[in-house]
Structure formats: C-alpha cells, structure tokens
Chains A and B, each alone.
Chain A
Amino acid sequence: MLDLKKYNSVGEALRDALETWPTEVCLIESDRGEEKQRLTYRNFKDKSQPLAKSLQDLAIGPGDRVAIIMTNQSKWLISAYAICFCGATLVPLDFKLKPEEQWQLLKHSGAKVLITEYGIWRQLCVSPARAAAATLKTVLVTEAPEHAELSGAERWESVKGANPPVFVPQKRQDIACIVYSSGTGGTPKGCMMTHENYLEQCVALTSLYPFWPGVRYLSILPTNHAIDFMVGFFGPFTCGAAVVHLRTLRPEYVREAFPKYEITYVSLVPLVLKNLQKGLQARFDALPDPKRKALDAMRSINRALTKDRPRPWLSRKLLGEVHAGFGGKLEAIIVGGAFTEPQTLQFFYDLGIPVANGYGLTEAGTAVTVNDLKPFRADTVGKPLPGMEVQIRNSDNDGIGEVTVRSKTVMAGYLNEPELTAETIVEGWLRTGDMGRFDSTGHLQLFGRKKNMIVTEEGKNVYAEDVEQAFEGLHVKEFCVFAANFIWSQRAMVNEKLLLVIHLEHGQAFTPELKSEISARNAWLTNYKRVHGLVIYQEDFPLTASLKIKRSELAQRLATLDREQSILPI
C-alpha cells in the first residue's frame, strides 16, 4: 500500500498508484455475465489523460466543480481521477435520483461540467428543471449511440487534448469532493470533504481490512455513495487491488460474479445482505434431512472454533460448499449505510463469512466505528477506528446519549450552509444526532436517533422535512412529516418509518378523496422516501412567531397519543 501520510491529495495518491502497479489489473467490467473490459493501472492512466487534458482546455482547475452522474462503471472512476488530476472538486451525484432532483443538486453545487451516461442524459434533457443549472457549461456523455441527438452534450469517448495534461497539486485542506448526504426536497446537505478526510479514512480502514495486489473488490453500492468511493475506488487503488463493476445489479448476475471473479471483499447495504441471508436459508432448508443436519453441525463447529477470531481457512474447509458459492476467496462482507440486525450478522459469521459492520455517516468521512472481529460482536457496531475520538454527550441514566465525533476525517462543513454547519460541528465535534453508548469493552451500541429522519435498509438518509414538498397545497389546515421514532422513541434503529401528520380544517371530514390525494402525492415520491402512515391530529400545531411549525413541540404532543392506534395506513 502507498504510504498515504506522504500525500497531500487524492489525485496525488492516485497518480502514484497508477505508476506503482502499471501491469496489475485495476478494473474489470462485466455486463449481464459477459466481461466487457479489463484494465491495468497503465490502461487506466492512458484512458484518463485525454479527459484530464480536455478539462484543462475548458479551464477547469482548483475551485471548479465537476459532477458525475453515472452507474458503477470504469468511466466513473476514470472521470473521477481526471477531475482530481486537474485539482478540481468532484461532485458525485446519485444516478437513482429523479432528473429534477439531479438538476437541483447540479444547481446547488455550481458544477461547471457534468459527466454522465447517454441514457441518464436523455432523462435529464426532458426534465423542465434543466434551465435551473445556469453554471453548467459542458456536458460529456458516455456510450451515446452513433447518430444520437446529444442535446448540446459532447461525447466522452471523443474528447482529447492535444498535449499531455499537467498535474495540479492540492493542499490537504482543499475540498476534494462535495457529497450530498440528503436534502433533495429541502436543504441540500452537500458535505465538503477534504483531501485529508479521504487520506486519513483510507489509512484507518485499511489498517483493519487491508487491500493488496490481487484483491478483487465487487462494487455494488453506488460509487457516489461515500462508502463505495472509499472501498470501491480510493482504497483498492492505493493498494494495487482491482475493482469489479457489474453494469446491472440483477441478483442472478451478482451471484455469478462471486465465483467467476473470486471476489475478496464486497460492500452491501443491509437490505441486500438480508436478501442474501434469505436466499441461503431457503437453500439450506431445501436440503435433504441428513445433509441439512450435517450442515448445521458444521455451522456449530465453525461457530465454536471462530469464537475468538475468524479463521477463514478453517471455515472454508468446514463449509466448503457454501464458500465455493462465494468464490472461496471472500475475506469479509462490508455492510454499511444503515443499521444491520444482529441476527443477520451472526448468520454469516457462523458460516465463516465475517461481516464488517460498523457505524458511520458521510459527514464523518464515512466509517466511525468498525467491528474488528476480535472477537466478533453482532450486538454492537464495533470500536472507533484509529484516529477517531468518539464521545457520548448528555447521557441519561442508562449511559445513552448523543454520539459525537472528532477526527481528521470529519467534513469541512455543508456547502453554502454556514448555520447548519455551525449547528452540526460544535467546537470541532461532529454532532451525529444518533444515540448510543459504549459497553465495558469499548464497543459502541446504538439506540435510535435524535434527528427527525430515517435511514432505510438501502442506506438512504431521508429527512422528514425534505418529504413535505410532495404534500404542499394539500387540502388540510396544516400538515407535517415526522419519523415515527422521532415522536415515539424506540431506542432502536430498525423499522424506521415516516408519517404524515395532518390537521383538518374545522368541520372538514377525512374523505376518500382526501385519502386518494394523499396516496397519489405519496406515490409521486421515490419509493424509499414515501410516508408509511397517517396521523390525524385534532389540535392546532404549535407555531413560531414567523408561523413556522415548532416541530419538537408538536412531536412531544403527538408522543402522548398511542402509537399503534394513531397511525392509519396510507
């Protein structure tokens, strides 16, 4: 691995990585089971240079922002490197957002250049929100058909500068990326991540889960997600490892990729991990009785023998068939983005497949704590990573309080939101809004949130306020969206749901028409942002002098209602 302490920027470290392992494979790309591309570090460099030069010909450099909206593929990483090479700031946006949301974030970020795929660009072009992003001057699209109408965009594959590009150095404190952690419906939360954030996080993570030449990381989480950017790009590249991209994430192709490419690591969100567990369990249940009993016995033996620490070679011997399905080289599954249920973690650990669960948030530079597997503890989110100071503030009688973090990995702040930044980072400590406590062995346990938000099993942060836009103009006196656990504290991070609370006009009835309107507006939202229940509140909402809803006070009043009886289905 490169000694990242020596480097000042993401671009500088990547540049050296490309020189250090020129003949190692860095990227493999497969589409529906067919390998489409295999690049060495030298190939990667050769492909990135024309783009870097083109960006420099467009006068893109320090202080400029370049956005990427792409699915996980080689051109994502090549483009990202070219942007870093020029000293510009990368804005990775979620390709799963709606076009109008993408335009909103393009506008907010002030991006001058957008790099995207032809299919995504087509959807962006027909969105009426296109006019919003006035700063956007250039669009580069990949994989456009030969005679396609590009609506003002240029072909990514055709860009080339006449001369070699010039590397632009950056300082550790300069902004490397603006990563949106949420906020497409309300206040966009653009986390300004410095080069130091990435360099330090990479050192910390690889100290526990190392990469090396020959390692193959299967990239499934979207690369705009802070986790995949780190463990699916920067981490493996600075260690000479390879990243495998699949152009479609249909379960059958994901399953096939493990043995085909002998995957070493993969990152998943809890939803996918649970689905994997379900699939495996169904296969185990379908085994003939003697075989199932033998498997159960092996699982028990494995559990006993790996009580103190994982022993991959032993587990592979005991549970060979299961491991063969994963390619036989899997070191660990990294799970992140949301809370994972302990029983799921234990299921995989008993099979000899450790799940590196942890806790983190984009604002903290991704991971704050990670399970070090010494020993494995399914009931916690692990210990703080090296370099992370974690304190519990304002704890109650049970020792549960707000988790706060101080580290070189904590973001510089939210783009264009000084007040929000000041509320979030207080005297150098990041206030996470998550509730937790340390156990006697220094493992962090989580117990719900202080914030009016949910994190879905797909790892999506959804702030209640951001969803309210969909219900603007609803024919009621007033309404508000809440995370159910924000009203009725559950001391848990599972089954998180959003609720729409409405207060009807005097004499107004809750008619089938109103119910239909609410359902229709809810359906307009992307599925993970939808509200899952309705509360009809009979009193006026408490308001500030400027007529804004006092959310905390309203939540306290709602908390006096019975949770189960108050929530109506939508």
Chain B
Amino acid sequence: MCMRTIEQTTQEILDLATVQFKVPAGSLAADDDFYKKLGIDSLQALEMLSRLENHFRIELPDYEVQGVSDFKTLAQRIQARL
C-alpha cells in the first residue's frame, strides 16, 4: 500500500534532484522543466531516474518517462508505481 501522498513524492524528487545536481536548496519547483532548470540532457535525466528508482524501490521502464520533462508529471508516474 502506498504510504506517500503525491505531494510527499514530489518533494522527495525535488530534494533528490537538488542534491544530485548540486542546485541551491529550494530552487526547484514541481512545475519546473527539469531539462531546462537543471541544464541536463536526456542521458543525465536517465541517471536521475536510476537514483529515483533506488530511492523509491520501484522500476520505471524508460518509455514511461519519455516525453516527461517536469517534476510534477514525473512524480505522478512514480506515484502510480508505489
């Protein structure tokens, strides 16, 4: 059973991205385009997904996150698998 709310999931994603990409705390928001905000390419985004998989203990197929570029949608995809 999923114990997290979508808000909690979103916040945990933002916190992990903040640490992984060394951006100032509180500078990321749910609606942010992570490619743009973090200045990352698709490979770096895949690396971020690996960390998120480990953190949430889930498996996210690559195609599930194709076309996803904001933290909010990413959180929804993760939440659906928790």
A residues with CB within 8 A of B? 32, 71, 95-96, 98, 117, 119-120, 123, 247-252, 271-272, 275, 458, 523, 526-527
Contacts and interface: CB of A to CB of B under 8 A. Distances in A.
A272 B33 CA distance: 21
Interface in B61-82: 61-64, 66-67, 69-70
Contacts of A523: 33, 69-70
A248 B61 contact: yes
A515 to B, nearest CB: 14
A119 B35 CA distance: 24
Contact of B43 (A96, A117, A275, A526): A275
A508 B33 CA distance: 29
6 contacts: A247-B61, A250-B46, A251-B47, A252-B47, A272-B43, A275-B41
B63 A250 contact: no
Q: How large is the interface on B (under 10, 10 to 19, 20 to 34, 35 or more residues)?
A: 10 to 19
| A-B pairs with lowest CB-CB distance, top 8 | A96-B66, A250-B50, A275-B43, A250-B46, A526-B67, A95-B63, A527-B69, A527-B35
Contact of A96 (B35, B41, B50, B67): B67
A456 B50 CA distance: 24
B42 interface: yes
A226 B52 CA distance: 32
Interface in B14-67: 33, 35, 41-43, 46-47, 49-50, 59, 61-64, 66-67
A250 B47 contact: yes
Contacts of B69: 523, 527
Nearest to A276: B43
A147 B22 CA distance: 43
B64 A458 contact: no
Contacts of A275: 41, 43
B59 A271 contact: no
Interface of B: 33, 35, 41-43, 46-47, 49-50, 59, 61-64, 66-67, 69-70
A272 B46 CA distance: 12
Nearest to A523: B33
B14 to A, nearest CB: 18
Nearest to B59: A32
A119 B61 CA distance: 8
A251 B63 contact: no
A425 to B, nearest CB: 33
A403 B19 CA distance: 48
B66 A249 contact: no
A335 to B, nearest CB: 15
A271 B67 contact: no
A119 B63 contact: yes
Contacts of A527: 35, 42, 67, 69
Contacts of A271: 41-43
A228 to B, nearest CB: 15
Given A251-B46, A251-B47, A71 B61 contact: yes
A120 B67 contact: no
Contacts of A249: 46, 62
A95 B62 CA distance: 10
B20 to A, nearest CB: 13
Given A98-B67, A271-B41, A527-B42, A71 B62 contact: yes
Interface centre among B46, B47, B49, B62 (most CB of A within 10 A): B62
B31 to A, nearest CB: 9
Nearest to B64: A119
A123 B64 CA distance: 9
Contacts of B67: 96, 98, 526-527
Nearest to B63: A95
A252 B42 contact: no
A272 B43 CA distance: 7
A368 B80 CA distance: 45
Contacts of B43: 251, 271-272, 275
Contacts of B63: 71, 95-96, 117, 119-120, 123
A248 B47 CA distance: 11
Contacts of B59: 32
Contacts of B49: 250
A249 B47 CA distance: 10
A194 B42 CA distance: 33
A164 B74 CA distance: 46
A458 B35 CA distance: 15
